[in-house]
Structure 1
Amino acid sequence: MIQNPILKGFCPDPSIVRAGDDYYIAVSTFEWWPGVKLFLSKDLQNWTQIGAALTRKSQLDMIGDPTSGGVWAPCLSYDNGRFYLVFTDVKTKKGRFYNTHNYLVWTDDIRGEWSEPVYLNSIGFDPSLFHDNDGKKYLINMVNGFKGVLVQEIDPQTWELIGERKKVYAGSGIGCTEGPHMYHIGEWYYLLTAEGGTGYDHCVTVARSRSVWGPFETDPHNPLLTSERGRDDALQKCGHGDLVQTQSGEWYLAHLCARPKNGNNLCVLGRETAIQKLVLDADGWFRLKCGGRYAKNQTESPEEIVPGNAEVVPALDRFVPENLTENGWNRWQNGYCSPRRPLGSDASLTARNGYLRLIGRESLNSLHRVTLAAKRQTALCMEACTRMEFHPEYEEQLAGLAYMYDAMNFYLFGKTVDAEGDPVLVLLKSDGGVITDETEPIRLETDDAVTFRARTGQDGAKVTFSYRQNGVWNTVKEDCTTEILTDEHCRGFTGAHFGMYVHDMTGLALHADFEWFYLGEPQEDET
């Protein structure tokens, strides 16, 4: 059996494809760099991150993008040995004014470099590229304001949109029709959409037609997939799906999900990715293999696939030469991400042997040049820990450990100086952009290295911050709420991250040196 979710932590809006014996998933990254995380599997259960598609600023410039803006709902497809990716860069999402620019990139080596982007349109977010059996290709668009699904042919040589742009589907009536994907299976064109909004009423709906141009009829037993409300152990927010067929002809649906705990409808892990096995019924409609329409915590494995090996992700990163396959941070990166931009020369693995050096720029609530190297939270009970050397001279200089959701909602546990220039530790909380001190500044006896730690409880609802200097652990504050780092509180689409952080608002570009970073299960204090 496949255990869900298959991608834990911030991994929403999955687009899945098979190329030979390999399966690939692309997920939304919103304002986090690099854009569009990519995962590989042999058996649909065990997945390994193989990098990202958008790794150059010439492909994606998110400076100034709003919180939970940036890259929405990529569509990954494969045709005649080439991978294609369509994505949206959301520049604004206020009220009625959504500025959503859609682009196409491609590659013959999914682990390598992707092309420069081709601009498509800005009609709506979540577009997809459909490769029909006759060689023609179409762009499938939803319309801003959830006004329906459009189809338009695209020239595979010039990538220009050609011919009529036709509205083929208005939605099933549930509302918030988005995320369209089209498939030509047998005599039918199937249109898969997300409906109900991306919260607790989310679902996957299906319609079909005998022509790419419609008319499309909605499945009479719609929706195909949704969530079983009222069960604490059930996957929630299930929707936004994509189909894949195995080598032996079995069908699976990768879809978005979330895991709130204790019945409080708060998701500190953000939106994740799960998978369900499907079958076609006697009338040619897709149905869950398990029956009903509720997503399950496990689903049947493919019958003819040998199970692969689970990815072993080291909890501890030491920034020493023998552990690095590439000198440059932006090449090695190892699952780290940063808000809106590549860190570039603001991150170095060679400036000081055995350390990651980060150069301070703007503060964490900026939408521009923030210096943060972070990893997503993948379990409710986790510990993040790092050892840092930093020698500030001004109160506007701070470095340490960040626990954040976005630019408006975060904890900063770091080292700075007070008005007299003496080194102190501070614990700051930003709730909706309002920044407060959670404790009085803690005077440090020396300017030596400091180890910072954030440890969440068993249910992820609370976090405790501690530090160590000269061998002794000291608790700064226990049981701080993590509610401020949830989708529901932030009204966002991402998830909580832990990371190494520095800012220098003086413009003097002071650096901090990090010796190691740990993110995993809580450890004994002695270690």
Structure 2
Amino acid sequence: MTVLHNPVLRGFAPDPSLVRAGDWYYVATSSFEWFPTVPVHRSRDLAHWEYAGHVEGAAPGGSLAGVPDSGGIWAPSLSWDGERFWVTYTVVRSVGTPYFDLDTYVSTATEAGGEWSTPRRVASHGFDPAMFHEGGRLWLLNLQNDHRPGGRRFAGIVATELDRDTLSPVGKTHLLLQHDRLIEGPKLLRRDGWYYLVLAEGGTGWEHGVRVARSRELTGPYALDDRPLLTTRDDESVPLQKAGHGELVETPDGQWLLSHLTARPLHTPGGRRCTLGRETAIQAVTWDAEGWPRLRQGGWHPAVDVDVPTRPHPLPPAAPPEDLSWPWSTLREAPDPSWADTTARPGWIRLRGRHGPESRWATSLLAQRVTEHHAEAEVTVEARPVTFTQAAGLVLWYNPEAYLSLDLTWTEPEGEPQRGQQWRGTPGAEGRTVLGLVERDEEGTRQVAVVEVPVEKPVTLGVTVEGADARFWYVRDGVRTAVGAALDFSRLSDDHGSRLRFTGAMAGIHARDPVDAAFTADFTGFRLTCTPG
């Protein structure tokens, strides 16, 4: 037996889709507006996981330019037909609208971390689709969205048979189930003559859960179990909250597992806030006398430590990336040497500034997931900003309305007001090179502190996160010096503000130059250390 410790994928890793192929288990997770698209992890023992690759090409044309924050690629579903891996997912281009303006795609590969086929669009009834394979037949399951005035945006679960070669519909679309409570994210399996629908219930927040329905026929009718398989909506004290969006998988020896998303909240004066986003967890499952799945520990609350029927298979520590591959992530496009170059200066990353941080098109940002409530990031930067439009530095990022950054930039001489005189900021002339600490939330951007620094040599920037507090600092002559007071890191969470948020906090480096897109900054020694506890 192996004991796994939940979450098994920590930090921003939501909507897990678990599949077994031979001795390996694979999990695909949502990537939203981030690249790499559809990260895939693998494990032999369910406790130790490694990055296996991603579904390259999942974004049509290689770009998600223009998609809103928390839009993009939602809830991929991974499956294995004995010969090939299949993935289906939805690209959502509007968030919070009746239509969602979405497209559902299907792609296949012989290796989950290998080369995937060019995605093909299929029937796009709603988001969070899934595939079901049976006897050589292929079915697409989906949420049905009724966008009409007075319609229900979560109007039931539908299934459409697809031709395996053309992916075109075969016959009509079948309505499997409707329910008063919000249901989505359908997964389908067959066991002991029953078809089981595993459903995400209640939305992806504090009311989230997993509900199961079953039928003797694939096309229904389906009867709901009278109790949830998994939820934490009834108890705020459970350490793993927001438990939902599940998928059942059978082990080689006939035991069962449930993958699901979860979150570890901070308890702040502003309420519970999940700065790490939604994460991936796994539970052990049994079947009761009536043939319904139940958590092995009883009840419907997720366990942190779970015994699973595998032999321990620890993995060596992941080596730091030598290029801009995982764990680096970028917004709406893959990193490109035209703006993120690792060859111009060996051992350094050169970023060319482009749009500002609120852009949906060309943001020069490289970031990694924050995976624990105790974390520290640092990097050394060298740059020569000569106008206030140029800046580069260290950032804690959630989205354009929730970030904290310490940037090397230019400002007017001390005591002189801001008048937009960027043409006067030339080296050796008027103006100063400074570190500017900026806080951004839905109410706007505030400059918290300004520290003048010499421009002749690189400067090391850092930030320490302890729960809800983020403290920025820089190093001069070997001495760490604080910049400003502690800032509220908990605003960088799914739960702050009124708009839908689905990702998680990241730490990284960025640069901007919206005027000329010519300013460059060199970074070296980036380190992100996340400490459990």
Q: Above 0.5 in TM-score?
A: yes
Residue 268 of structure 1: aligned partner:
275
Distance 2:530 2:371 in 1: 10
* Offset, 1:229: 4.4
Asked if residue 244 in structure 1 is aligned to residue 249 in structure 2, the reply is yes
Among 287, 308, 328, the alignment partner of 2:313 is: 308
Asked if residue 142 in structure 1 is aligned to residue 135 in structure 2, the reply is no
* Offset, 1:99: 1.4
* Offset, 1:507: 2.2
Change (3 A) 1:102 1:228: closer
* Offset, 1:187: 0.4
Among 491, 497, 504, the alignment partner of 2:513 is: 504
Among 156, 164, 168, the alignment partner of 1:156 is: 164
Change (3 A) 1:452 1:123: same
Task: Give the residue type in structure 2 aligned to 1:166.
Answer: H
Q: Secondary structure at the match of 2:297?
A: coil
* Offset, 1:113: 1.6
Residue 397 of structure 2: aligned partner:
404
Q: Secondary structure at the match of 2:496?
A: helix
Residue 489 of structure 1: aligned partner:
496
Change (3 A) 1:461 1:442: same
Change (3 A) 1:494 1:56: closer
- What is the correspondence of 1:427-506 to structure 2 with a 5 Å cutoff? 427-432=437-442, 434-439=444-449, 441-457=450-466, 460-490=467-497, 491-506=500-515
Q: Secondary structure at the match of 1:98?
A: coil
Q: Secondary structure at the match of 1:483?
A: helix
Change (3 A) 1:311 1:87: farther
- What is the correspondence of 1:108-187 to structure 2 with a 5 Å cutoff? 108-132=110-134, 134-144=135-145, 145-171=153-179, 173=180, 175-187=181-193
The answer (yes or no) to whether the contact 2:8–2:281 under 8 Å persists in 1 is: yes
Q: Secondary structure at the match of 1:35?
A: coil
Residue 6 of structure 1: aligned partner:
8
Residue 217 of structure 1: aligned partner:
223
The answer (yes or no) to whether the contact 2:238–2:301 under 8 Å persists in 1 is: no
Residue 320 of structure 1: aligned partner:
none
The answer (yes or no) to whether the contact 1:367–1:407 under 8 Å persists in 2 is: no
Distance 1:105 1:467 in 2: 46
Change (3 A) 1:60 1:169: farther
Among 333, 336, 344, the alignment partner of 2:336 is: 344
The answer (yes or no) to whether the contact 1:228–1:294 under 8 Å persists in 2 is: no
Asked if residue 75 in structure 1 is aligned to residue 77 in structure 2, the reply is yes
Residue 365 of structure 1: aligned partner:
358
Residue 524 of structure 2: aligned partner:
515
* Offset, 1:58: 4.3
Task: Give the residue type in structure 2 aligned to 1:241.
Answer: G
Residue 525 of structure 1: aligned partner:
none
Asked if residue 226 in structure 1 is aligned to residue 199 in structure 2, the reply is no
Distance 1:354 1:55 in 2: 29
Distance 2:173 2:296 in 1: 36
* Offset, 1:95: 3.6
Distance 2:235 2:311 in 1: 36
Distance 2:443 2:327 in 1: 27
Residue 373 of structure 2: aligned partner:
380
- What is the correspondence of 1:188-199 to structure 2 with a 5 Å cutoff? 188-199=194-205
Change (3 A) 1:289 1:521: closer
Residue 416 of structure 2: aligned partner:
none
Deviations along 1:197-245, whole A, 9 cap, x unmatched?
Answer: 111110000000111110001113x211001644545210000011111
Residue 149 of structure 2: aligned partner:
none
Change (3 A) 1:433 1:335: farther
Q: Secondary structure at the match of 2:495?
A: helix
Task: Give the residue type in structure 2 aligned to 1:96.
Answer: P
Distance 1:56 1:154 in 2: 20
The answer (yes or no) to whether the contact 2:18–2:78 under 8 Å persists in 1 is: yes
Change (3 A) 1:187 1:56: closer
* Offset, 1:378: 0.2
Distance 1:433 1:128 in 2: 39
Distance 1:230 1:287 in 2: 18
Task: Give the residue type in structure 1 aligned to 2:432.
Answer: D
Any unmatched runs of 5+ in structure 2? Answer: 146-152, 413-429
Distance 2:177 2:377 in 1: 47
Q: Secondary structure at the match of 2:239?
A: coil
TM-score by length of 2: 0.91
Q: Secondary structure at the match of 2:491?
A: helix
Asked if residue 335 in structure 1 is aligned to residue 338 in structure 2, the reply is no
Task: Give the residue type in structure 1 aligned to 2:516.
Answer: G
Change (3 A) 1:188 1:254: same
Distance 2:89 2:169 in 1: 16
Asked if residue 415 in structure 1 is aligned to residue 408 in structure 2, the reply is yes
Change (3 A) 1:233 1:151: closer
Change (3 A) 1:462 1:50: same
* Offset, 1:487: 0.5
Distance 1:77 1:57 in 2: 19
Task: Give the residue type in structure 2 aligned to 1:251.
Answer: W
The answer (yes or no) to whether the contact 1:227–1:234 under 8 Å persists in 2 is: no
Q: Secondary structure at the match of 1:265?
A: strand
Change (3 A) 1:160 1:59: farther
The answer (yes or no) to whether the contact 1:232–1:261 under 8 Å persists in 2 is: no
Task: Give the residue type in structure 2 aligned to 1:88.
Answer: T
Distance 2:503 2:74 in 1: 11
Q: Aligned residues, how many? A: 500
* Offset, 1:339: 1.0
Any unmatched runs of 5+ in structure 1? Answer: 318-322, 523-527
Distance 2:166 2:455 in 1: 63
Distance 1:365 1:469 in 2: 31
Distance 2:512 2:335 in 1: 13
Residue 46 of structure 2: aligned partner:
44
Q: Secondary structure at the match of 2:38?
A: strand
